[in-house]
Amino acid sequence: MKSFNVPVQYRSPLIQAIKQKRKQEDKLKKDYSPTLLQAGSISLLLARHFGFCYGVENAIEIAFHAVAENKGKRIYLLSEMIHNPGVNADLQAMGVQFIMDTYGQQLIPWDSISKEDIVIVPAFGTTIEMEALLRAKGIEPSRYETTCPFVEKVWNKAEKIGLEGYTVIVHGKPKHEETRATFSHSKAHTPTVVINDIQEAELLAKYIHKHLPAEQFYEDFKGQFSVGFDVAKDLSRIGVVNQTTMLASDTQAIADYLKQSILSYYNAAAEETHKYFADTRDTLCYATNDNQSAVQGMLEAEADLAIVIGGYNSSNTSHLVELCELKLPTYFIKDEHCLISDSEIRHFDLHSHSEKESLGYLPQKDPIKIMVTSGASCPDALVERVLERLLLLSNNKDAYQQILKVWLDN
């Protein structure tokens, strides 16, 4: 896979050495067991795959390049480039401004943006409407476009099945930038509905089976269907694509459920499946699959707690948290400063959607076993700082030097 010029502040020689060694030993990526960093009274289990993915590195390279070659110009990002607060703050410190927030709310009026300005399209991609708006202003969106190719792959899949006459069901978070972009690209070709989860899939199935009055659909899925969607005819032939960062098991369950649902309504035999359901594989990206598989592999070991590092609005990171929470106490942190002391931690609670502080997260025992992973938009340097802080707080300060020696002298 292509390699990128990632700024030095995001790199970690330690993590790079670990990843390199694991890669050499497991070229086919079959081994999802974690890497054990053993030192002093602490055992750190580091997931086999984590951190910056192809799309994030590509976006960072393009954005930093755009800043370097446009000195003196106003530089904008349509919205957060990736869901990592540190990287976004670095871009803002270099003068880059965000036109919209992550939910599409306007932060800078369009009137103040002109064709002399530079506008960067984030890794999530953008809508066709937004591309048209930029072009109308004389700004070519593809000039500094960081849309991940794995997101474009989803758009291509939606277009393909749309042209084959299927209505596209997008499994994704309706307000997420990537899902909004995918919805826009899909509805250019075919009727499209966004569903958030299995509950919405079950609700949709009630309309496939005509168990609910058609008018109610437009209320139940308000803001999530394409203009002109005709519930009476547009749910008779469907296909599913996903936001690239959803939980693999959810995505599979939703596709299976909708497939069974439509086949049972039409009383269709297995060989007639294609008449009603586009039997495609999921459109999760490789990084989502690798990182989730690595967490599953890590969870086969025993540990006292898990630390998951990433931006709180990061979809892919939140699914790693959900997986860990099924097995052990899990703390979702954005950086090393969240490890306030050996007893107090600041972390994000996915259930209440709020940051909170908890006491007693590090057990008083020897050894302590901690699982660590991070999302696809989290720099390795940040993961290393978290590891270092964990060692410091657990009275294993010297162990960090030992770990560096073992891995960097290798």
- Of 142 and 264, which CB lies nearer to ligand SF4 in the complex structure? 142
Residue of 110, 74, 119 lying closest to 95 (CA atoms): 74
Q: Is 287 in the site for ligand SF4 (CB under 6 A)?
A: yes
CA distance 53 to 379: 10
Binding mask 140-179 for ligand SF4 (x = CB under 6 A): --------x-xx----------------------------
Report yes or no: 147 and 177 within 8 Å, Cβ to Cβ: no
Beta bridge partners of 369: 43
Site for ligand SF4 in 288-307 (CB under 6 A): 288
Site size with ligand SF4, rule: CB under 6 A: 15
Measure CA 230 to chain center: 31
In b/e form, how buried is each residue of 22-61, taking b as 16+ CB within 10 angstroms? Answer: beeeeeeeeebebbebebbebbbbbbbbbbbbbbbbbbbb
Which listed residue (32, 54, 76, 407) binds ligand SF4 by CB under 6 A? 54
Which listed residue (186, 226, 244, 317) binds ligand SF4 by CB under 6 A? 244
Which listed residue (53, 134, 295, 307) binds ligand SF4 by CB under 6 A? 53
Site for ligand SF4 in 173-232 (CB under 6 A): none
CA distance 337 to 353: 19
Residue nearest to ligand SF4 (CB): 55
Q: Is 123 in the site for ligand SF4 (CB under 6 A)?
A: yes
CA distance 113 to 105: 16
Per 3-state DSSP, the chain is made up of helix, strand and coil in percentages (nearest 5) of 40, 15, 40
Which listed residue (316, 317, 373, 394) binds ligand SF4 by CB under 6 A? 316
Q: Is 202 a catalytic residue?
A: no
- Of 14 and 376, which CB lies nearer to ligand SF4 in the complex structure? 376
Query: Would you please indicate which residues are annotated as catalytic (active-site) residues?
Result: 178
* Interface positions with ligand SF4 (CB under 6 A): 53-56, 123, 148, 150-151, 244-245, 285, 287-288, 316, 376
